[in-house]
Every structure is written in C-alpha cells, then in structure tokens.
C-alpha cells in the first residue's frame, strides 16, 4: 500500500465523517415523495442512462 492509497483513504474517510450527520438530518427532515414525485425523477434518469449508453457506443 503506497502513500497515495493512504491519502485517498483518509480523504474518503473524512468525506464519510462529514456526510454522516447531514445524511441523518436529511433522512429525518426531508418530506416524503409520492409515486408521482418519484416518477418525475425516474423518467429523466432513464433518459440519462440511455444517453450515457449512446455516448459509450459513440466512442467504441
């Protein structure tokens, strides 16, 4: 294990420690979405997945 890996591990570990309380706060306080709300998120995500697949095929 080189020092770059150790540095990366410290960096990602610090991110986890920073995110954890914010994640708990967001989980407790964010409103619950309806099925319609989630569809409004899933549809653009499907479009992005297809677009990324197209980009991958274009560079092959």
* Contact positions with other proteins (CB under 8 A) in 12-31: 12-16, 18-20, 22-23, 26-31
Q: Does 35 bind other proteins (CB under 8 A)?
A: no
Residue 52 found at the interface with other proteins (CB under 8 A)? yes
Query: Alpha-carbon torsion 31, 37, 39, 45, what sign?
Result: negative
Cα separation, 35 vs 25, in Å, equals 23
Tokens describing residue 8: 């990366």
The Cα–Cα gap between 26 and 13 comes to: 20
The residue ranges that bind other proteins (CB under 8 A) are: 1, 3-5, 7-9, 11-16, 18-20, 22-23, 26-33, 37-38, 40-41, 44-45, 47-49, 51-52, 55-60
């Amino acid at each position: 294990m080189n020092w770059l890996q150790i540095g990366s591990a410290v960096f990602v570990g610090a991110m986890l420690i920073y995110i954890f309380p914010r994640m708990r706060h967001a989980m407790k306080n964010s409103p619950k979405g309806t099925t319609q709300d989630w569809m409004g998120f899933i549809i653009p995500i499907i479009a992005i997945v297809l677009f990324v697949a197209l980009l991958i095929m274009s560079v092959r």
